[in-house]
């Protein structure tokens, strides 16, 4: 198998994943910065797909790269940032468990999305939307943030659908 040449859309995808990594790094010192990086990653995630279609370079490699990047930016980063808000709680194991459930839902959703034949439809809540919602809701819910983790995990795996724009 020959190495896939990277295109502009792939660099946008890699930038989204890099923002996810930076969100994890900054979650320890600034929740706001971490949330901002995840939101920026969501913008880049929307842009890479449009760019791939515009360039006529949408392909299996890009789809896999996008999922790996999304796993970091919309799974690991928001789960860790929201978990870290409660890391010193005596109930830390509850926050950790709910963060793991959220991450698992993101990973399952991404794997399912890659297998869908219909690419013009979303099934369940898209992971970028779930990630941004989690980072908005976790500080508001405070000690009850596991509820946000679990509800969003459920919505990502739910059986409703809507058309992509």
Residue of 95, 94, 69, 68 lying closest to 82 (CA atoms): 95
Name the one residue in this structure whose structure tokens are 């941004």.
Answer: 132
Q: What does pTM read for this prediction?
A: 0.92
pLDDT tens, 70-123?
999 999 999 999 999 999 999 999 999 999 999 999 999 999 988 876 667 778
Q: Which residues pair with residue 161 across a beta bridge?
A: 123
Q: Give yes or no for a contact between 91 and 131, defined as CB atoms under 8 angstroms apart.
A: no
pLDDT tens digits, residue range 53-77? 887 777 888 889 999 999 999 999 9
Closest to 153 measured CA to CA, from 49, 41, 78: 78
Q: Where exactly are the structural domains of the chain? A: 8-163
Report residue 1's pLDDT band, with 50, 70 and 90 as the boundaries: very low
**pLDDT, tens only, 125-155:** 999 999 999 999 999 999 999 999 999 999 9
Which residue in the block uniquely carries the two structure tokens 């509820």?
147
In the CATH scheme, what is the homologous superfamily, with its name and number, of domain 8-163?
CDP-alcohol phosphotransferase transmembrane (TM) domain (1.20.120.1760)
Contacts of 83 (CB under 8 A, 6+ apart): 95, 96, 98, 99
DSSP alpha helices (H): ranges in the chain?
8-27, 31-55, 60-71, 77-84, 92-115, 127-141, 145-157
| Torsion angle (degrees, nearest 10) of CA 42, 45, 50, 56 | 180
**Residue recorded with tokens 């995808």:** 13
Whether 113 contacts 67, CB under 8 Å: yes
Contact present, 38 and 146 (Cβ < 8 Å): no
Which letter does DSSP use for residue 162 in this model?
E
pLDDT digits (tens, 9 = 90+) for 33-47: 999 999 999 999 999
């Amino acid at each position: 198998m020959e190495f896939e040449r990277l295109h502009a859309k792939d660099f946008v995808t890699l930038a989204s994943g890099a923002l996810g990594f930076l969100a994890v790094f900054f979650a320890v010192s600034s929740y706001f910065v971490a949330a901002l990086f995840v939101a920026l990653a969501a913008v880049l995630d929307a842009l890479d797909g449009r760019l791939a279609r515009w360039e006529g370079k949408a392909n299996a490699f890009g789809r896999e790269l996008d999922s790996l990047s999304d796993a970091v930016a919309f799974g690991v980063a928001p789960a860790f940032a929201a978990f870290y808000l409660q890391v010193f709680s005596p109930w830390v194991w509850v926050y950790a468990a709910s963060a793991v459930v959220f991450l698992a839902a993101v990973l399952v959703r991404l794997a399912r999305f890659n297998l869908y034949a219909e690419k013009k439809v979303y099934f369940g809540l898209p992971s970028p939307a779930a990630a941004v919602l989690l980072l908005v809701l976790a500080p508001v819910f405070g000690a009850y943030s596991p509820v946000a983790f679990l509800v969003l995990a459920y919505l990502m795996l739910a059986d409703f659908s809507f058309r992509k724009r």
